[in-house]
Amino acid sequence: MAKEYEVVIIGGGPAGLSAGIYTSRARLRSLLIERGPVGGQIADAELVENYPGFPQGISGMELGQLIHQQATRYGLETLQAEATGLELQGEKRMVITTKGKFTAKAIIIASGSERSKLGIPGEEGLTGKGVSYCATCDAPFFKEKPVAVVGGGDAAITEALHLVKFAAKVKVIHRRNELRATKILQEKAMAEPKIEFLWDTKVEGIEGKDRVNRLNLSNVVTGEKSTLDVAGVFVAVGFKPNTDYLKGVLPVDDAGYIVTNERMETKIPGVFAAGDVRLNSAQQAITAAGDGATAAIYAEKFLSE
């Protein structure tokens, strides 16, 4: 028989963990389901300098563990498993996981999103050691160093414009010969002396022993190979929300993001979404935590009504 909970939270990043603090303190029987280590994406951040309460900064992994400890202290249960589907008919909703089924009166979806990866040699091993997916987070580590940004859309150009405040030089590497970014961003980037463009170019590999030091490039038109010495590479080729397991059950937009209102309610009563998984999230730890708290507060209201 499926174990029963009042609230099941899917995802143990800042959004899910913060929701867990609130639902547990509201004395709601709560289960958090996380497929990996708790902390979510923030656990990959070497140093988080913009989360309130830590004037010297804090490692992302420690931050995740501290929020988890805080939630556990108030009774949040954690299960290491992957949510693979939902059944939303009837008053009791069911979360299906790799370790069994769980019923819930309310569900908070906080399964986050991930930066699309390049899928090239060196990328995985050097993530957090010069390979980054977040300039807002990591740019200050590259003061006066040469860096590259991969991509040609809004995200890539926004990252490049942020990086010029820190880096010595920013090379934008794009596989086409023109940018997809909005015109105003393009104009700003073109006028910025620290930014240079490498057109028609793709990155084939990232080299470095303990830290990134070189990119292997190839020209997609001529096939010519080259290398570029950099201390860091920021990959900005898009985001992918973790919502595959919701297909056919919960409406998502074309890109896979969940649409919510300001109470974090989805189109289905009793089902909430919080953090990077929802459309128009600011994709920061603090905003995800805020979403989680909001979702939990309105889940509690939903259950008491």
Ligand X SMILES: Cc1cc2nc3c(=O)[nH]c(=O)nc-3n(C[C@H](O)[C@H](O)[C@H](O)COP(=O)(O)OP(=O)(O)OC[C@H]3O[C@@H](n4cnc5c(N)ncnc54)[C@H](O)[C@@H]3O)c2cc1C
Q: Any residues with CB less than 8 A from the CB of 236 and at least 6 apart, and which?
A: 115, 133, 135, 149, 150, 151, 153, 155, 156, 158, 159
Q: Could you tell me which stretch among 41-49, 66-74, 163-171, 216-224 binds ligand X (CB under 6 A)?
A: 41-49
Which residues, 93 to 132, sit near ligand X by CB under 6 A? 110-113, 132
Q: Could you tell me which stretch among 100-108, 225-233, 265-273, 282-290 binds ligand X (CB under 6 A)?
A: 282-290
Q: Print the binding letters for residues 131-160 with ligand X: x by CB under 6 A, - otherwise.
A: -xxx--x-----------------------
Count of residues in contact with ligand X, rule CB under 6 A: 39
Q: Does position 258 bind ligand X by CB under 6 A?
A: no
- The amino acid at 292: G
DSSP 43: G
Q: Which residue shows structure tokens 């656990």?
A: 43
Q: Any residues with CB less than 8 A from the CB of 297 and at least 6 apart, and which?
A: 22
Q: Does position 232 bind ligand X by CB under 6 A?
A: no
Q: Specify whether 137 is catalytic.
A: yes
Query: What values do phi and psi take at 242, rounded to 5?
Result: -85, 75
Among candidate residues 44, 134, 254, 276, the one labeled active-site is 134
Q: Specify whether 291 is catalytic.
A: no
- The amino acid at 112: G
Beta-carbon count within 10 A of 221 CB: 10
What residues act catalytically? 134, 137-138
Residue numbers at the binding site for ligand X (CB under 6 A)? 10-16, 33-36, 40-42, 44-45, 48, 50-51, 82-83, 110-113, 132-134, 137, 242, 245, 275-277, 283-286, 288
